[in-house]
Amino acid sequence: MTRQRELILGILSQSDRHLTADEIFFLAKLKMPTIAMATVYNNLNAMNEAGVIHRIRVDGGADRFSAVSEPHDHLLCDECGKLTDIRLPKLKVELEKQIHSPVDSYDLVIHTLCPACRRKK
Amino acid sequence: MTRQRELILGILSQSDRHLTADEIFFLAKLKMPTIAMATVYNNLNAMNEAGVIHRIRVDGGADRFSAVSEPHDHLLCDECGKLTDIRLPKLKVELEKQIHSPVDSYDLVIHTLCPACRRKK
DNA sequence: TTCACTGCAAAACGTTTGCAAACAG
DNA sequence: CTGTTTGCAAACGTTTTGCAGTGAA
């Protein structure tokens, strides 16, 4: 556990949404100006494989990362692009029932306007 | 509708699984050796935007494309990497019930061994 | 003291773009 | 004929890699 890894994990933990490697790099530079992009990626990959953080790919852009490691689902606002976590605990069992097979895991992104953007409409 | 677009759509229609742009390019070259990668991408993007085909991003590799345009879900075999379509018609309503909001659309990839790989285990 | 990790630069990868020539409608 | 699409090459954004030097344990 290096200072760099601690910093990156801290940034992710304090964010209420998923961040791109670029955003993490920018925030990390504020506190540690010498940090390199490669280090950010090294750590994101290491922590993702260790199950400490979670990586997700969304259409048309860079991968995003969050500190939440337990299985969870995602809400993506197509208006502002914000990606937030949500827990649908019953869903896995529901899916297994529907496909008649064990589900190892699943990735779900629900496209729906976030409350702020819905209000503006 | 150019010959190139026809060819690419034909390749996708005849496949029982999702293909990467690279695979499509390779198959297209067999029938039309002068075709360019850019043309493959141009057409995939055009048809995706027109709703004729469907693009999906999976962790750790290139985007994949299929000829199926109606909303559907995905089964990904973590053993052999095969990506197939499945229809879970009741799921959208179920999700709306759970998040208490209208769902514009959603992307779902279920990780589960395909029948062939399951048998080998 | 050791070995994993850093920072840097360069490469790799998938995808997009600019442009002149070719083609479909 | 006109506008769209092609093929090519070069650029792009994101991610990974090789490597010498650094720092954590």
**Amino acid occupying residue A3:** R
Which strand D nucleotides have any atom less than 7 A from protein CB atoms?
A: 5-10, 13-18, 23-25
pLDDT in tens, A11-38: 999 998 899 999 999 999 999 999 999 9
**CATH number (domain holding residue B45):** 1.10.10.10
Clarify whether residues A112 and A94 are in a common domain: yes
Asked if residue A77 and residue A57 are part of one domain, the reply reads no
Name the residue of chain B whose CA is nearest to A79's CA. B104
pLDDT band at B97 (very low <50, low <70, confident <90, very high): very high
For B28-84, write each residue's pLDDT tens digit: 999 999 999 999 999 999 999 999 999 999 887 899 999 987 889 999 988 888 889
Nearest-angstrom CA–CA distance, A33 and A7: 12
Quick one: A52 and A88 in the same domain?
no
Co-location of B62 and B77 in the same domain: no
Let me know: does B109 contact B78? Beta carbons within 8 Å.
no
Q: Measure Cα distances from A43 to A7, A9, A12, A83, B116 in Å.
A: 10, 9, 12, 21, 36
Bridge partners, residue A20, by sequence:
A64
The alpha-carbon gap from B20 to the nearest alpha carbon of chain A, in Å, equals 15
- Rounded distance between C-alpha atoms, residue A102 and residue A119, angstroms: 40
Instruction: State the nearest Cα–Cα gap between A17 and chain B, in angstroms.
Output: 18
Same domain membership, residue B59 and residue B12: yes
Note whether A33 and A78 are same-domain residues. no
DSSP per residue over A88-102, as a string?
A: -TTHHHHHHHHHTS-
Tell me: do B7 and B40 sit in the same domain: yes
Domain residues for the domain of A28 are 3-66
Query: Are residue A7 and residue A43 in the same domain, yes or no?
Result: yes
Do A81 and A59 share a domain, yes or no?
Answer: no
CATH code of B96's domain: 3.30.1490.190
Integer Cα distance of B70 and A35 in angstroms: 46
Domain count, chain B: 2
Beta-carbon separation of A88 and B101 below 8 A: no
Considering the domain architecture, whether residues B116 and B88 belong to the same structural domain is answered as yes
Q: How confident is the model at residue A58 (pLDDT cuts 50, 70, 90)?
A: confident
Domain boundary among A50, A66, A82: A66
According to the model, what pLDDT value does residue A18 have? 94
Report CA(A59)–C1'(C19) in Å, whole number.
28
Q: Given the structure tokens 């693009």, which residue do they identify?
A: B55
Determine, for residues B108 and A106 on separate chains, whether the beta-carbon distance falls below 8 Å.
Answer: yes
- Which pTM was predicted? 0.90
Residues B42 and B84 occupy one common structural domain: no
CA B38 / C1′ D11 distance in Å: 13
With a cut of 90, say whether residue A47 has pLDDT above it: yes
Amino acid A11: pLDDT: 97
Residues of B engaging A, defined by a Cβ cutoff of 8 Å = 55, 57-59, 75, 78, 86, 88, 90-91, 94-95, 98-99, 101-113, 118
The residue from A20, A35, A66 where one domain ends is A66
Strands, DSSP E only, in chain B?
A: 19-20, 54-56, 64-66, 73-76, 83-86, 105-111
Q: Is the CB of A38 under 7 A from strand C?
A: yes
Same domain, A7 and A36: yes
